[in-house]
Amino acid sequence: MDDDIYQERILEHYESPYHRGKCPGCTHCHEDRNPLCGDVVRMELRIVNGGKIEDIYFDGEGCCISQAAASMLTELFDGKTVEDVKNFSAEDMLRYFGPRLTPNRQKCALLPWRVLQAAIYSPCAESHLNGGTTHTLPTQ
């Protein structure tokens, strides 16, 4: 395994994230933080009948690992299904992320995975569906 390639991929996702922002017509969303550091990841999805993830976005504030992992997950599950998310284990996430991580760093990479697993069970509030802006993230 070539760690440099992994590092490059992580940096690319951190610097040019995939679908960072608000999901148009979002139907499901969840936000959580890493209790150790307070870093935040939010996932917004538009899930259509049959469980297809028609669109998926993330947002957040935090370390390179948590934000890059969120971007990677968003890219991976764009166009996939809710079943695919359910079948994607924490181990799968760590393998997909790439480099071996210390236990604390694993928590960083697993934060977006946890948020995504919860988001598929978390329909948005109605006001949000109607175009209201009910969610805010801390700014830097």
| Alpha helical stretches, state H, the chain | 3-15, 64-77, 82-86, 90-97, 103-119, 126-129
Provide the 3-class DSSP secondary structure of residue 135.
coil
Region near ligand FES per CB under 6 A, out of 7-15, 32-40, 44-52, 113-121: 32-40
Q: Which residues of 86-96 are buried (b: 16+ CB within 10 A; e: fewer)?
A: eebeeeebbee
Total residues contacting ligand FES by CB under 6 A comes to 9
Pick between residue 93 and residue 111 the one whose CB is nearest to ligand FES: 111
Pick between residue 34 and residue 71 the one whose CB is nearest to ligand FES: 34
8 Å CB contact between 119 and 43: yes
Q: Which of 68, 85, 108, 119 binds ligand FES (CB under 6 A)?
A: 108
Q: Residue written as tokens 């948020």?
A: 115
Tell me the per-residue interface mask from 53 to 72 with ligand FES, x by CB under 6 A, - otherwise.
---------xx-xx------
Q: Which of 17, 18, 23, 39 binds ligand FES (CB under 6 A)?
A: 39
Structure token digits, residue 126: 């109605």
Positions in the binding site for ligand FES (CB under 6 A): 34, 37, 39, 62-63, 65-66, 108, 111
